Structure 1
């Protein structure tokens, strides 16, 4: 599993110009069946880092309501940031389910397959299983600890976030790696473009892994704007969100959010 890149050097809060360009929320998602286990300890300290590369989940606002998804749900990182409402399925196995409760988690990690074990006996994250390896505090909202693994019902739900979308710039010259966090609504990103202060054209960025997007252009120190389309089709322009003179490792927070 990938770990988050280096430390944040500075967080700069900007009242960026922005434009909501297009799109609207998708239709409600249906309930589906899966299974769930837990990891990371009672304080979820073992969930820090993770394949979405959000780093310290406490600092980034994700807290202890998070989960690692199996291959079919993780979708090569395209599901990073998505939110799911999960309930223990008492109709299948009432012994280990807490009745009448649900918990909402954010996708922050990948649960890798273990093909040395059968899908129904230890290989819980093997293809084609839909499985959530949840942070222990989130799992224990719906399951009895002694059960270990529980059947669940789940559905995608909009992500509710405090504050605006944030951009952390990592990488190096000619490899600008931008980690996008605190994304509301769909939670996940379909596409991302960048425009620098010395250009009039938008340049597409590519997903590196998880919630990281990269550009191979030389952008060091230039004023940057980003254009993001989420997986619900809503597009927002973050105009001049990164000021000139920025340094690698800095995070820039907008005051705007998907809805």
Structure 2
């Protein structure tokens, strides 16, 4: 059970760098579903977002096959998906699409063939979607459907969220609810008494720092894979503690 975390909203200063928007092109893949009709079983996951309701992702989510997951670099990306009725329309809900956020990994299963159960085996492009999202485009009894998909811009409610765990000289920061291109390419942290320190991806959407920054107000710089950079000035106040989350009032737009 996730421990409730206090939230604080603080002003931030943004530095925006011009960059191209997400370029979408339709590709072919397949999709299954997991969890129940209430998306039970879809919480947590390989991106580290935890409770998908409290972190703003809800049930419009998907796990990505290994080929799409890219070792966690795709965490937070948004995909528009529609059933490919021209390939096989038996289980399609024609003319509709759904937009989902990548929050998990669908791991390979090399014990079964890629075309008979090993849906997430490389190099397949496969989406294992939360059931409430999948049934918008597919008929429940079908189980697996061919799809067309494309990357799209993420539209999120509220600002970017920073959740800090670990201990001093080892800070693990979950960067979530990222709009625009959705996924983070790089990040840095700076305390009020320390220099700027580059962060590295630890796993999923968790970024780590080895700086001793406890007891300082923290500024984060985040660059998305779309090329937009925002500096979240003093988004974490001096009295923060490990396990706390902080929401900025700024959001990525492309």
1:155 to 131, 150, 154: 150
Checking the alignment, whether the CA contact within 8 Å between 2:189 and 2:219 is kept in structure 1 is: yes
2:222 to 199, 222, 228: 228
Checking the alignment, whether the CA contact within 8 Å between 1:25 and 1:232 is kept in structure 2 is: yes
1:191 offset after TM fit, Å?
A: 0.1
- Structure 1 residues 142-221: aligned runs within 5 Å: 142-199=137-194, 201-221=195-215
In 2, Cα distance between equivalents of 1:111 and 1:23: 34
- In the superposition, the TM-score normalised over structure 2's length comes to 0.97
- Structure 1 residues 1-259: aligned runs within 5 Å: 7-16=3-12, 18-199=13-194, 201-259=195-253
How many residues are matched?
253
In 2, Cα distance between equivalents of 1:244 and 1:8: 20
In 1, Cα distance between equivalents of 2:31 and 2:200: 31
In 2, Cα distance between equivalents of 1:40 and 1:124: 17
In 2, Cα distance between equivalents of 1:9 and 1:38: 30
In 2, Cα distance between equivalents of 1:21 and 1:91: 42
| Unmatched tracts of structure 2, length 5 or more | none
- In the superposition, the TM-score normalised over structure 1's length comes to 0.95
In 1, Cα distance between equivalents of 2:198 and 2:4: 25
Counterparts in 2 of 1:175 and 1:166: CA distance versus 1, 3 Å: same
Checking the alignment, whether the CA contact within 8 Å between 2:159 and 2:247 is kept in structure 1 is: yes
Q: Deviations over 1:49-91 (max 9, x none)?
A: 1111111111111111000000110000000000000000000
Counterparts in 2 of 1:21 and 1:32: CA distance versus 1, 3 Å: same
Counterparts in 2 of 1:27 and 1:42: CA distance versus 1, 3 Å: closer
1:171 offset after TM fit, Å?
A: 1.0
In 2, Cα distance between equivalents of 1:9 and 1:19: 25
1:245 offset after TM fit, Å?
A: 1.9
In 2, Cα distance between equivalents of 1:9 and 1:150: 39
In 2, Cα distance between equivalents of 1:29 and 1:216: 37
